Amino acid sequence: MVDEPVPVTIVTGWDARRTGELISQLLCTLESRRIAVVGGRGAVGASDPSFFVEVEAEISERSAGCPCCVVRSDLVRIVANFTRRVRPPEWILLEAAGWTDPVIAGQTFLMEPTLAGLARLDGIVTVIDGPAVGARLRAGESAWADPIAGDQVAVADRVVVRGAQSMDIEDLASASRAASATNGSAAVVVSLGEEVDPADLLCLDAFGPSGASANATRPQAAQRAGGPVSKSATHVVEAAGVLDQDRLEAWLDALHESRHRRLLRLDGVLAIRGRDRQIICQGIGTSLSRWRGRRFAPGEPRTSRLVVTGRDLDADSLRSTLDDCVVT
Amino acid sequence: MSGPTTDVLDLALSWTAQLDDAVSALVWSPDGAELAAGSLGGDAVVLAADGTSRHQMDPHHDGVLALAWSAGGRWLAIGGQSSAACIWSPGAGSTPIPVRGWVNDLAWAPRSDRLAVAAGSDVVVVRPDASVIADYPFLEGTVNALVWSGGGRHLVVGTLGAVHWFDPVVAGRRAVRTAKVVGASLSLATSPDTALVAGGQLNGNLAVWDEVTGRGPVLTSYDGGVERLSWRHDGRLLAVAAYGELDVWMLDARGKAAGAPISLAETEATLGGLAFHPTGPLLAGGGRDGWLQVWEPGAAAGPPAMLEVGEEITTLAWLPGTEALALGTSSGAVHLVTLG
């Protein structure tokens, strides 16, 4: 039984071979630690075989009814069982490769009360196959082989480019730019050969109030890639002045409810009328958590900043409609 | 749960056995002579009713999740996270069952030797020699629970977005009935006359379906997943453990609720173990706070009998024909508790 929630890192990516390589190298580097792995069929095992569960991901389509109810019951049980062990794992790596939707996996940890106190989501690491992305861009194709692949990059806290040792410098640069164009918040880590530094990928503390605040205020990478990259992208939405609570709620509801686009992730620091503290919010998929942040300093301008990641989002519309929430 | 209160029954520890890790499953053989116990560390043992070890099975390296005795007590089925399941008997040893995926649940059909195994998103029905009678591969999602209903004719399977009724003998892979649910099914329990099936979902919904029609109302929606269900022997009361709550519903023969449920306790999380006595009025529950509580729901009784175990109770099972129960804990202890 755990005293502190066990950190969980979602390792996602379109190419299961590349995610498997990264997990293997992490396990190798951390071989003396108790690292559990939850992976898809054919996934690599943990260093301790009693800490590996192979699981076919539950279907994460929204066909099961209300999307807010879609959390993965398989993950809930596996993770709960890990944490009930006499010697629970120190870390859990959850592989979400190929078609597996990292958003549903992520919101499972944020929404499911059974896991509260047992496990916490630390971060999302997305692995891309550098040579494949470079070749696609050279051929004038979209950087990502499928919209899900774009989503996997868009929700990441870290994007790891694998296979860099076999890429020429132009391809490597264009693959890295594509990752930044899709997700301006995530640091891009270029992985050469067998080298992987766990410090780059673990202990990110990206979820929770401190992570949300840091994500919302971090400078974004310049969105300079030209041509088709992805329908998924990260947008910074800012508003000067305090927001009306009711109008903000309607704005958030509209963001979640559209059938024509998909909200993947949201991190925000908000100034709301009548509140002397910042309100920090964070969501993945349809989950949304809020916390009270720091108190505004005397004379400090009241501004709100949200980093909104999604598929087919209209950045100009997001900004103008958030502006409509400002109390004039 | 609330703190200790005045006992109305005496509870006493009779014996303790030790497994290698948190106890994940406890099941008494039908005659009460043997207790099968499994752990998250992989221990799988058969204990005598006095707590002494009778058989140590091959370990399931990734943890045992489910155990089930056949109706006559001749075979014991074992399944776990290692994506392996087997049927064991003292004479024949272990026979592996061909499954893919981790095994969440096992259920022998009443009055027959058919075993249903939930493995990942597959279900397979086998004979004691592990030969396959029917298989249902690639259902909508992970199969978290399965039970037999209709006197053992139908296999009821809870998966993502649906509860299916299968007839493994005559209907092949086609579901004879399907009840749509929202989200993942977590728990299923057949009423003692097998005419009703109660189902709990991850989103907190609780439903009771008629075995014949597959229809029935959603009784309520709890704040968290409905993990555990237990029927009283007469089928009139259904105990429900959802996240943070323990209720008892009074139901008629068609599964219709007679008003609001009786709230027995507010719990710190979902109870690790919940079971009505197989033939009597008592209901036992235990969870993360380390207290075993025994109620007599529906009677004008006082507060529950309580016993502090001192660590999380992960599962429990009544010893047939007695007022004793076995409970497992997070440290791997198996205790036999008797009611005075």
CB atoms within 10 A of CB B180: 9
Is B115 in contact with B125 (CB distance < 8 Å)?
A: yes
Please tell me the distance from the alpha carbon of residue B158 to that of residue B254, in angstroms, as a whole number: 21
User: Which pTM value belongs to this model?
Assistant: 0.83
pLDDT score, position A60 = 39
Nearest Cβ partner for A114 among B62, B63, B243: B243
Amino acid at B276: F
Q: In terms of DSSP bridges, do strands B11-18 and A303-311 run parallel, antiparallel, or are they unpaired?
A: unpaired
The strands making up B93-97's β-sheet, listed across from edge to edge, are: B64-69, B76-80, B85-89, B93-97
CB atoms within 10 A of CB A188: 20
What tokens appear for B259 in the block? 């008003």
pLDDT-wise least confident of A56-60, A266-270, A318-322: A56-60
In chain A, the domains with their CATH numbers are 6-206 (3.40.50.300), 232-323 (3.30.1220.10)
Average pLDDT over residues A186-210: 88
Nearest to B180 by CA among B198, B162, B155, B206: B162
pLDDT tier at A46, thresholds 50, 70, 90: low
* Residue of chain B nearest A112, judged by CA positions: B224
Is 50 exceeded by the pLDDT of residue A66? Answer: no
Q: Which of B43, B60, B81 to mutate to test the interface with A (most CBs of A within 10 A)?
A: B81
Strands (E), B98-136: 103-108, 115-119, 122-126, 132-136
Contact A54 B83 (CB under 8 A): yes
pLDDT score, position B200 = 95
A69 has a chain B CB within 8 A of its CB: yes
pLDDT score, position B5 = 35
Among A177-186, A254-263, B42-51, the range of highest mean pLDDT: B42-51
A61 has a chain B CB within 8 A of its CB: no
Contact B203 A69 (CB under 8 A): yes
Q: What is the DSSP letter of A69?
A: G
pLDDT score, position B340 = 72
Radius of gyration of chain B from Cα atoms?
19
**Residue A20 CA: distances (Å) to CA of A15, A27, A44:** 9, 11, 6
Is A259 in contact with A245 (CB distance < 8 Å)?
A: no
What are the chain A neighbours of B24 within 8 Å (beta carbons)?
A: 81
Tens digits of per-residue pLDDT, B251-283? 998 889 988 999 988 877 778 899 999 999 999
Residues 6+ apart with CB under 8 A from B217: B207, B208, B255, B256, B257
* Residue of chain A nearest B205, judged by CA positions: A69
Please tell me the distance from the alpha carbon of residue B185 to that of residue B179, in angstroms, as a whole number: 11
Tens digits of per-residue pLDDT, B108-119? 999 889 999 999
What tokens appear for B267 in the block? 């719990």
Please tell me the distance from the alpha carbon of residue B235 to that of residue B193, in angstroms, as a whole number: 7
In the three-class reduction of DSSP (H, G, I as helix; E, B as strand; rest coil), residue B224 is classed as coil
What are the chain B neighbours of A41 within 8 Å (beta carbons)?
A: 100-101
A72 has a chain B CB within 8 A of its CB: yes
What tokens appear for B4 in the block? 């200790």
Positive or negative, the Cα torsion across B324, B326, B329, B333?
positive
In our burial notation (b when 16+ CB lie closer than 10 A, e otherwise), range A267-288 reads bbbbbbbebeebbbbbbbbbbb
In chain B, the domains with their CATH numbers are 22-275 (2.130.10.10)
Average pLDDT over residues A71-99: 86
What tokens appear for B40 in the block? 């998250």
Please tell me the distance from the alpha carbon of residue B139 to that of residue B156, in angstroms, as a whole number: 13
Is 80 exceeded by the pLDDT of residue B75? Answer: yes
Contact A59 B140 (CB under 8 A): yes
pLDDT score, position A259 = 64
Is 50 exceeded by the pLDDT of residue A227? Answer: no
